[in-house]
Amino acid sequence: MTAVMRSNRRRSAAYQPSGDLVPKVLAGSRPDIARLISRAEAEYAEASEALGEIYRHAGRAHIVGITGVPGGGKSTLISALIGAFSAAGSKVAVIAIDPSSPYSGGAILGDRIRMGDSAEANRAFVRSMATRGHLGGLARPTLQAVDILDAAGYSPIFIETVGVGQDEVEVVTAAHTVVVLSPPGLGDDIQAIKAGVMEIADIHAVSKADRPEAAATVAAIKGMMTLGSDVKGSSWTPPVLPLSASTGEGVADLKQAIDSHRQHLADSGELATRQRAICKHRILVAIDQLVRRRFDDGTEGLSEQLQAVVERKSDPQSAAGSLLASEKAGHGR
């Protein structure tokens, strides 16, 4: 306990130990949920025990990833989904990932601006989180935020990722159900395939269904699916749903598809397989980050090894091997 206390430098008189927040989070207190998420995001050492406890209380929520290219209408769609799930009695949460600058670390509030009205009307919990240059867009703090909301009784929990690329691949490892949203007629075929997110979809949604090109995009996605079917080794066939978040067309169908996919996962036994894969991934991410922090926080050998690599007297692999070996021989944590 003293080691834990020591590693937390500044603390105001009113600071509540994170352990004291846990029962309040489990009881659903919104300010305490927000507080604990902030501590996870800031990576307070003091909070790590509490977050471990939270994890052990989590595991009931349906975690839904929503992804697609920028400008596809994800935020508008999530507003509509908040409404639909809230109307059905669910306690909805949203975590929006902002790909922030590695320099400023700032997150953009666009999502909150857009989702604000629906979220407030429905008492949904909406949170933007920055990725801050972590390797992998959905690093530990995001996963811990999901745990916190899960333990507090929120379900479904939507994770919205911005962009196309590694973040989208990463979302698969954290979500039970992945919705890929495509705007109609964006780019040509090669670009659409290159986007590389087609295969990760459990459900396809095509936004702006009122536009004339939407039907062609639905057909194109269906066509691509017949080429690369069953990549996930699942017996589920991803539906392709046109929708217009502004008119509300298709939102009920999408809600139903999300619910059906959850049911399918439970009935087929795939849920257990996915949970296991998610756990494995999280342990590996945690190991990565523990090691990274140790070395990043200034293990002595690092600066010598770094200098040798800079001068091309050594190379990154050899330096990494030497540092791990000395770590193993050495002083521990």
Binding to its own copies (CB under 8 A): which residues in 229-258?
A: 231-232
Q: Burial code of 307-325, b = ≥16 C-beta within 10 A, e = fewer?
A: eebeeeebeeeebeeebee
Task: Examine residue 108 and tell whether it contacts its own copies (CB under 8 A).
Answer: yes
Query: Contact with its own copies (CB under 8 A): which of 44, 55, 85, 158?
Result: 55
Query: Contact with its own copies (CB under 8 A): which of 4, 34, 193, 224?
Result: 193
Query: Contact with its own copies (CB under 8 A): which of 7, 247, 268, 275?
Result: 275
Task: Examine residue 305 and tell whether it contacts its own copies (CB under 8 A).
Answer: yes
Shortest approach of its own copies to residue 320 CB, angstroms? 3
Q: Could you tell me if 216 and 242 are in contact, meaning their C-beta atoms sit under 8 angstroms apart?
A: no
Query: Contact with its own copies (CB under 8 A): which of 137, 156, 184, 238?
Result: 137
Peptide bond into 156 cis (omega under 30): yes
Shortest approach of its own copies to residue 180 CB, angstroms? 12
**Sheet-wide strand order for 157-161:** 125-130, 93-98, 157-161, 63-67, 177-182, 203-206, 240-242
Give the footprint of its own copies on residues 160-179 (CB under 8 A).
161-170, 172-173
Q: Rounded to an integer, what distance in angstroms lies between the CA atom of residue 139 and that of residue 143?
A: 7
Task: Examine residue 110 and tell whether it contacts its own copies (CB under 8 A).
Answer: yes
Tokens of 174: 């954290």
CA distances from 112 to 108, 140, 249 (A): 9, 22, 23
Letters for 85-104 (x = contact with its own copies by CB under 8 A, - = none) are -------------xxxxxxx
Tokens of 142: 């995001």
User: Residue 254 is which amino acid?
Assistant: L
Name which of 128 and 255 has its Cβ closer to its own copies: 128
Total residues interacting with its own copies, rule: CB under 8 A: 95
Task: Examine residue 51 and tell whether it contacts its own copies (CB under 8 A).
Answer: yes
Q: Name the one residue in this structure whose structure tokens are 């919990």.
A: 125
